[in-house]
Amino acid sequence: MSMSQEEIEALMNGADSEPEEVAEVSDDTPEESESSSDDSEETNIDDILAGIDGITDDGSSEDNFDDILAGIDGMTDDGSTEDSEDNFDDILAGIEGISEDENSEPEKESVTQTSDEEKYPLPVEKEHKVVNQLNEVAEDSEEKASQIFDVLSFILDENAEIDNYNKQMNSFIEKQIELLESLTTKFPNVEVFKENFELADSLLTVSKNLSEKVNGENNKVFEAMELMQYHDINRQKIERVMAVIRKLSSYLNGIFEDDSGKPEVQIAKHIPGDGTDTVGEDDLEALISEFSDN
Amino acid sequence: MQLIFNIKGIIMRILIVDDSTTMRRIIGNVVQQLGVAKEDFDEAEDGVVAWKLFQEKGNYDVVLTDWNMPNMNGLELVKTIRAKDKKIPIVMITTEGGKGEVITALKAGVNNYIVKPFSADVLKEKLDGLVKG
């Protein structure tokens, strides 16, 4: 029985909420619950492990791990983690193109930020228009889906050919079985007839199995073809988004449209209160007197 | 799923109308599984092309049409066909799954309605029902 998307999502939500509930309980008595839950968990795991054949705990599991690791070729533990860090540095130094630069990360960040600032807002050109881009995605997806369908159709055609060959083979084997059966009956002492009869009989089973496999494969291809309907459904979802954008664009154009008929006036560049670029009373007087002297 | 049902001889010619090439191929594949030969069905990418084919050939036994298509949508196509032919079975195969849409389509003259995604079995059952009438 297949499950609907809602059922799957409900299940997933249920799975997500379970750990939260556990966390809430443990929040009430953090230390106590932590230690007790740890103990009980450990006990439970021990119980489970004890119940499984072949698993024993002699209390020296750590030693055992060391023994096991020691037994693996190439495994050494000299207890010097610092040395290993040095080794990594040596290895990295040996690789061309890798250099350690403490300032590299922030620089990269600033470069990205600058390029983004330069990039956005994108110029209003055909290739940057969102609806055009979505349309391109939908068309590209349609083309690729068609190509996938070609591949699936090819597999079906090939399987049909395999099935035809198999039928020819099957008919030949059946005739051979008939022949060999009569020969075996007539000449029961000739061992080779009997052997070949048995072989032909087993080949008939192989042929039947092959036919079943091909049918099974065909059914999977049909399933895949059915699933490709989701491509059309998703394309229509994209088209719905495109329609919303078109309507929004038309609405915004309409609401910001100037139908007053008044000519566009030149706008003021610096109005007092804008910021530090505007001149104060003293600066203004100084500038006037400076130019008056000239 | 092995389809052994064969409608060939009962439904001779099918007109498949969908703006998606993939969907037309999927439907075409399903009707082929049902025993209809490749040369026994035509495809149209919108209502305009479908109506043209319908007028030119006029020998279709069933029309399988999508709803949302450019130029002339499926509903307009159904109404146009029904104005000329009251009997030809029409099945709407669409993503429109709302009750209101189904009623609208049925009122326009659709004989049966399939919501995408559908399985080959569903289409088989609907076609079978149309054939048995």
Q: What is the 3-state secondary structure (H, E, C) of chain A?
A: CCCCHHHHHHHHHHHHHHHHHHHHHHHHCHHHHHHHHHHHHHHHHHHHHHHCCCCCCCCCHHHHHHHHHHHCCCCCCCCCHHHHHHHHHHHHHHCCCCCCCCCHHHHHHHHHHHHHHHHCCCCCCHHHCHHHHHHHHHHHHHHHHHHHHHHHHHHHHHHHHHHHHHHHHHHHHHHHHHHHHHHHHHCCCCHHHHHHHHHHHHHHHHHHHHHHHHHHHHHHHHHHHHHCHHHHHHHHHHHHHHHHHHHHHHHHHHHHCCCCCCCCCCCCCCCCCCCCCCCCHHHHHHHHHHHHHC
* Residue B42, SS3 per DSSP: strand
Determine the Cα–Cα distance for residues B64 and B55; give it in Å rounded to an integer.
16
Pairwise pLDDT comparison (A251 vs A41), residue with the higher score: A251
- The pLDDT value recorded for residue A16 is 45
Q: Which of B2, B17, B26, B119 to mutate to test the interface with A (most CBs of A within 10 A)?
A: B26
Supply the pTM of this predicted model. Answer: 0.61
Burial category of A244 from C-beta neighbours within 10 Å (exposed 0-12, middle 13-18, buried 19 and up): exposed
Distance from CA of A243 to the nearest CA of B (A): 13
Percent of chain B residues past pLDDT 90, beyond the cut: 68
> Looking at this protein, which amino acid is placed at residue A223?
E
User: For chain B, give me the number of helices (H) and strands (E)?
Assistant: 5, 5
Cβ-nearest to B20 among A223, A225, A235? A235
- Interface residues of chain A, partner chain B, Cβ below 8 Å: 142, 145-146, 149, 153, 215, 219, 222-223, 225-233, 235-236, 239
**Band (A27; pLDDT cuts 50, 70, 90):** very low
- For the segment A143-169, what is each residue's pLDDT rounded down to a tens digit? 999 999 999 999 999 999 999 999 999
Question: Contacts of residue B32 in chain A, CB cutoff 8 Å?
Answer: none
Identify the helix (H) or strand (E) that includes residue B108: helix B99-108
Alpha carbon separation from A52 to A46, A47, A56, A288 (Å, rounded): 10, 9, 9, 98
Q: Angle at which helices B74-84 and B47-57 pack, to 10 degrees?
A: 20
Q: Give long-range contacts, CB 8 A cutoff, 24+ apart: A51-55.
A: none
B132: pLDDT strictly greater than 80: no
B128: pLDDT strictly greater than 60: yes
- For the segment B83-95, what is each residue's pLDDT rounded down to a tens digit? 999 999 999 999 9
B94 φ/ψ angles, rounded to the nearest 5 degrees: -150, 165
What is the rounded average pLDDT of the residues B1-8? 44
Cβ-nearest to B117 among A145, A230, A235? A230
A203: pLDDT strictly greater than 70: yes
- For the segment B8-47, what is each residue's pLDDT rounded down to a tens digit? 456 579 999 999 999 999 999 888 888 888 888 999 999 9
- Is B21 in Cβ contact with A226 (below 8 Å)? no
**Band (A289; pLDDT cuts 50, 70, 90):** confident
The least confident of A138-142, B50-54, B82-86 is: A138-142
- The pLDDT value recorded for residue A111 is 59
> Looking at this protein, which amino acid is placed at residue A278?
T
Determine the Cα–Cα distance for residues B73 and B18; give it in Å rounded to an integer.
9
Distance from CA of A234 to the nearest CA of B (A): 10
Determine the Cα–Cα distance for residues A55 and A110; give it in Å rounded to an integer.
56
> Looking at this protein, which amino acid is placed at residue B116?
K
Determine the Cα–Cα distance for residues A177 and A197; give it in Å rounded to an integer.
6
**Band (A1; pLDDT cuts 50, 70, 90):** very low
- The pLDDT value recorded for residue A277 is 74
What is the rounded average pLDDT of the residues A34-62? 49
- Interface residues of chain B, partner chain A, Cβ below 8 Å: 1-2, 18, 20-23, 25-26, 29, 33, 68, 95, 116-120
Please give the torsion angle defined by the CA atoms of residues A216, A219, A224 and A227, in that order, rounded to the nearest 10 degrees: -140
- The pLDDT value recorded for residue B130 is 81
- Is A219 in Cβ contact with B26 (below 8 Å)? no
- Is B116 in Cβ contact with A149 (below 8 Å)? no
Dihedral sign from CA coordinates of A183, A184, A188, A193: positive
- The pLDDT value recorded for residue A290 is 86
**Band (A123; pLDDT cuts 50, 70, 90):** confident
Alpha carbon separation from B35 to A95, B88, B89, B106 (Å, rounded): 64, 20, 18, 27
B133: pLDDT strictly greater than 50: yes
Q: Enumerate domains of chain B plus CATH numbers.
A: 14-127 (3.40.50.2300)
- Nearest residue to B117 (alpha-carbon basis) of A231, A81, A188: A231
Distance from CA of A238 to the nearest CA of B (A): 13
Which residues, in sequence order, are CB contacts of A25 under 8 Å at separation 6+? A33
Which residues, in sequence order, are CB contacts of A10 under 8 Å at separation 6+? none
- Tokens 């090819």, located at residue: A154
* Closest chain B CA to residue A149: B22
The least confident of A32-36, A77-81, B129-133 is: A32-36
- Is A236 in Cβ contact with B95 (below 8 Å)? yes
Determine the Cα–Cα distance for residues B87 and B81; give it in Å rounded to an integer.
10
Q: What would the two tokens of residue A62 be? A: 């750590």
Distance from CA of A242 to the nearest CA of B (A): 14
Alpha carbon separation from B105 to A249, B66, B95, B132 (Å, rounded): 31, 11, 13, 22
Distance from CA of A35 to the nearest CA of B (A): 52
Distance from CA of A29 to the nearest CA of B (A): 51
B3: pLDDT strictly greater than 50: no
- The pLDDT value recorded for residue A28 is 42
Determine the Cα–Cα distance for residues B17 and B51; give it in Å rounded to an integer.
10
Determine the Cα–Cα distance for residues A89 and A126; give it in Å rounded to an integer.
49
**Band (A221; pLDDT cuts 50, 70, 90):** very high
- The pLDDT value recorded for residue A10 is 53
- The pLDDT value recorded for residue A105 is 52
Radius of gyration, CA atoms only, chain B: 13
CB A136 within 8 A of CB A242: no
Question: Contacts of residue B1 in chain A, CB cutoff 8 Å?
Answer: 219, 222-223
- Nearest residue to B93 (alpha-carbon basis) of B78, B113, B119, B76: B113
What is the rounded average pLDDT of the residues B48-64? 93
